[in-house]
């Protein structure tokens, strides 16, 4: 127990501020730093950042005039969680559960995150994919209360004022969790063109921004009151949306070309000026814009694209863990990718960068380790302008493959089975959304040539996953090393032990990459910083505990907070080493780095509330 902590707990609220301040708080005492507010009575109960419901203490009820607004009994947050769980159980469909959780977030922020954090694996699919996809499609018909910032193309001239208004509404003042120098640490923005595999969803994409922002808090403790979810409403090409009388977005076909570029430029410029040091997270942009925008801004402001970099980072960590078992270098792998959209290309780009950074090979050498198969077959150079941005550098020379045998002779394109036979890959990655696309023939063919086939069927949701791990293990005589993009039950090994299949969930990585970047106030999220986080994640794999026993290639999602501390520490240290950090640090040890990070992680805990006055100037979150 921390010296004096028992005495602190017994002090009145007004005296707590003099014992624990924003300047002296540690990871153990940060929850005792009071939040100050000028609100009283019903106004506090209507503020999700301050509302504790039945958990307000007797003293807080007296000070803020809450008696009469609440039932008499004081409840703990654990009692509140049980009440919430019983209410969720009464919701008959995932969509109703999603709506309930969204409503809870609007009423009591701490309780929402406490419930989600304690039952993350149970409710992640409700908050995010796949249920969020259904909620997004129904957004305009289910709308009750706005959440996030709506930046619409017709109102571009008022963009700066709109962003400023949201910051004023947050009323952010210095607090123990501060990271960036401005009022916002993170902006999560989408233009809704390529949402969760369901495509263009117009203004409904705001739901993906709010859900993704919540994952930053759940995964790595980013302060939810210092994040801004945004949708760039540039119209929609989905006819059923803008022809619907209830559709709430701008009823216009999607803006493209230079007008679109100027609009995004203006948004990035305003964000960088209003929120200096904030990380800008691009989410679910269309393939033609995703890579282009990331490349355009990555040297100017801290930007990140989870579909490209986050998916690639967690897949690379799983591959590094698998390489520990097979005792092979990254640059020695022969990798076949099935599905060449943003996620697939993001993965191969990240693995390629890993080869370059870890093994010192050239980019040209690394590119030759990949064979990419899309809906039109193996990517070859003669496809020319039919190749999407980012695909050309992985297209194989036609002369290299002209004499490869075809499973179906009348087909000109080389299909997945043809590539497997010719390449004899060590690694097979699926981002195709082709349900059970890795069939028995393909898996058995791969296993003929490789002692420990590495197979990553990463498509979401479970129904679209390329391979059931149980099938994959049976078809390879239990030799495969598998990581999936969706949760699957454990597989019983021949000796009776249960093997937990690694879930390559982005939430294991991207929140911590963001946390390390934000805390360091880095000018950029560099490839070296991402790679440092990847290696830290790979080192936390259970296979390191017992290399000869069945073990998952990645840590379990329920352990994400501990994982995030380690990953964020690696990212922070790399930012300092590379000279990207805009803040000076004086760490004496690894423990110092981790303690610093823990102190700045927001936790779903009720902090004391005290009235704001002139004597003490700290205000709220």
What is the predicted pLDDT for the residue at 177? 57
Label residue 551 by pLDDT band (50, 70, 90): confident
Cα of first residue to Cα of last residue in the chain, in angstroms, is 27
Distances from the Cα of 567 to the Cα of 106, 238, 547, angstroms: 30, 39, 22
The catalytic position among 128, 139, 247, 297 is 128
What is the distance between the alpha carbons of residues 220 and 31, in angstroms, rounded to a whole number? Answer: 16
pLDDT of residue 409: 75
Does residue 24 register a pLDDT over 90? no
How many CB atoms lie under 10 A from the CB of residue 171? 14
Res. 16: pLDDT tops 60: no
Does the structure show a pLDDT above 70 at 180? no
Helical ranges in 327-372 per DSSP H: 342-359, 363-367
**E strand or H helix at 281:** strand 279-282
pLDDT at residue 549, rounded to an integer: 54
* Angle, CA of 75, 78 and 84, to the nearest 5°: 90
pLDDT digits 0-9 by tens, 303-329: 999 988 999 999 999 999 999 999 999
User: If you average pLDDT over every residue of the chain, what do you get?
Assistant: 90
Predicted confidence at residue 196, as pLDDT, reads 76
Active site residue 212: yes
CA atoms of 577 and 592, how far apart (whole Å): 16
In this prediction, residue 411 has a pLDDT band, given cuts at 50, 70 and 90, of: confident
pLDDT at 389: 74
Average pLDDT over residues 573-580: 96
Rounded distance, CA 438 to CA 449, Å?
16
pLDDT for res 2:
36
What does residue 485 show for φ and ψ, rounded to 5 degrees?
Answer: -90, -10
pLDDT value of position 226: 94
Domain spanning 112-301, CATH class: alpha beta
pLDDT at 600 over 90: yes
- pLDDT tens figures, 481-532: 999 998 899 999 998 989 999 999 999 999 999 999 999 999 999 999 999 9
Domain boundaries, the chain: 112-301, 309-508
Could you check whether 112-301 and 309-508 share the same CATH topology?
Answer: yes
Report the pLDDT averaged over residues 59-77. 96
Q: What is the token pair recorded at 170?
A: 């947050």
CA atoms of 133 and 125, how far apart (whole Å): 10
- pLDDT score at 384: 86
Dmax (CA) for the chain in angstroms is 84
pLDDT of 169 > 90? The answer is no
Who wins on pLDDT, 617 or 394?
394
pLDDT at 13: 47
Binding-site residues for (S)-malate, please?
460, 505
Annotated binding site for a divalent metal cation: 283-284, 307
Where do runs of H (alpha helix) occur along 42-174?
42-45, 58-63, 77-89, 94-107, 109-118, 120-127, 131-137, 139-142, 159-170
Query: Across residues 2-27, what is the average pLDDT?
Result: 52
At 339, list the tokens: 């599905």
Query: Which of 97-106, 446-455, 549-558 shows the lowest per-residue confidence on average (mean pLDDT)?
Result: 549-558
pLDDT digits (tens, 9 = 90+) for 84-111: 999 999 999 999 999 999 999 999 999 9
pLDDT band at 9 (very low <50, low <70, confident <90, very high): very low
| Percent of the chain whose predicted confidence (pLDDT) is above 90 | 77
Residues making up the binding site: 283-284, 307, 460, 505
CATH topology of domain 309-508: Rossmann fold (3.40.50)
Residue 461: the pLDDT is 79
- Which pLDDT value is given to residue 217? 97
Identify the active-site residue in 30, 52, 97, 212: 212
User: Taking Cα atoms as reference points, which of 285, 170, 199 lies closest to residue 619?
Assistant: 170
Strand partners for 611: 37
Pairing of strands 335-338, 303-305: unpaired
Query: For this structure, is 128 an active site residue?
Result: yes
Average pLDDT over residues 139-148: 91
């Amino acid at each position: 127990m921390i010296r004096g902590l028992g005495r602190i707990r017994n002090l009145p609220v007004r005296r707590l501020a003099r014992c624990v301040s924003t300047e002296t708080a540690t990871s153990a005492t940060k929850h005792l730093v009071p939040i100050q507010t000028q609100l009283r009575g019903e106004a506090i109960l209507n503020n999700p950042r301050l509302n504790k419901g039945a958990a307000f203490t007797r003293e807080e009820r007296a000070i803020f005039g809450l008696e009469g607004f609440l039932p008499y009994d004081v409840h703990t947050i654990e009692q509140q969680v049980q009440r919430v769980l019983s209410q969720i159980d009464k919701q008959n469909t995932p969509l109703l559960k999603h709506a309930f959780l969204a409503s809870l977030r609007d009423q009591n922020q701490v309780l929402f995150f406490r419930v989600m954090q304690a039952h993350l694996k149970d409710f992640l699919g409700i908050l995010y994919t796949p249920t969020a996809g259904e909620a997004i499609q129904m957004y305009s018909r289910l709308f009750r209360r706005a959440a996030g910032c709506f930046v619409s193309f017709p109102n571009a001239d008022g963009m700066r004022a709109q962003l400023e208004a949201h910051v004023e509404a947050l009323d952010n003042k210095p607090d123990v969790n501060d990271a960036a120098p401005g009022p916002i640490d993170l902006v999560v923005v989408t233009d809704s063109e390529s949402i969760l595999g369901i495509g263009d969803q117009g203004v409904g994409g705001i739901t993906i921004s709010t859900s993704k922002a919540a994952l930053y808090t759940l995964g790595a403790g980013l302060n939810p009151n210092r994040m801004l979810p945004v949708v760039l409403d540039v119209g929609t090409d989905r006819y059923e949306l803008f022809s619907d009388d209830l559709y709430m977005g701008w009823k216009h076909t999607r803006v493209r070309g230079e007008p679109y570029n100027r609009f995004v430029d203006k948004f990035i410029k305003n964000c960088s000026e209003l929120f200096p040091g904030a990380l800008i997270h691009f989410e679910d942009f269309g393939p033609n814009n995703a890579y282009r925008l990331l490349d355009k801004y990555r040297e100017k402001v801290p930007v990140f694209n989870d579909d490209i970099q986050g998916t690639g980072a967690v897949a690379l960590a799983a591959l590094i863990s698998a390489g520990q078992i097979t005792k092979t270098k990254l640059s020695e792998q022969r990798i076949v990718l099935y599905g060449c959209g943003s996620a697939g290309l993001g993965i191969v780009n990240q693995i390629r960068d890993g080869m370059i950074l870890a093994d010192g090979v050239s980019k040209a050498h690394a590119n030759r380790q990949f064979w990419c198969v899309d809906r039109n077959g193996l990517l070859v150079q003669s496809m020319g302008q039919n190749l999407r941005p980012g695909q050309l550098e992985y297209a194989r020379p036609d002369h290299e493959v002209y004499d490869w045998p075809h499973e179906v002779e009348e087909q000109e394109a080389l299909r997945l089975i043809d590539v497997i036979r010719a390449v004899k890959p060590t690694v097979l990655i699926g981002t195709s959304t082709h349900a059970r696309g890795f069939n028995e023939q393909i898996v058995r063919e791969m296993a003929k040539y490789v002692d420990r086939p590495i197979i990553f069927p990463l498509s979401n949701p479970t129904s679209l996953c390329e391979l059931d791990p149980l099938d994959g293990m049976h078809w390879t005589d239990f030799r495969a090393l598998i990581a999936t993009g969706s949760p699957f039950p454990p597989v019983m090994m021949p000796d009776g032990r249960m093997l937990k299949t690694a879930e390559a969930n982005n939430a294991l990585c991207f929140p911590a990459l963001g946390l390390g970047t934000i805390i360091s106030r880095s000018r950029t999220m560099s490839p070296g910083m991402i790679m440092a986080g990847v290696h830290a994640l790979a080192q936390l794999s259970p296979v390191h505990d017992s290399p000869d026993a069945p073990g998952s290639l990645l840590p379990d999602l329920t352990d994400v907070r501990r994982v995030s501390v380690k990953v964020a520490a690696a990212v922070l240290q790399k930012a300092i080493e590379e000279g990207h950090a805009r803040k000076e640090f004086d760490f004496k040890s690894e423990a110092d780095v981790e303690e610093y990070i823990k102190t700045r992680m927001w936790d779903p805990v009720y902090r004391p509330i005290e009235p704001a006055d002139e004597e003490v100037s700290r205000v709220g979150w």
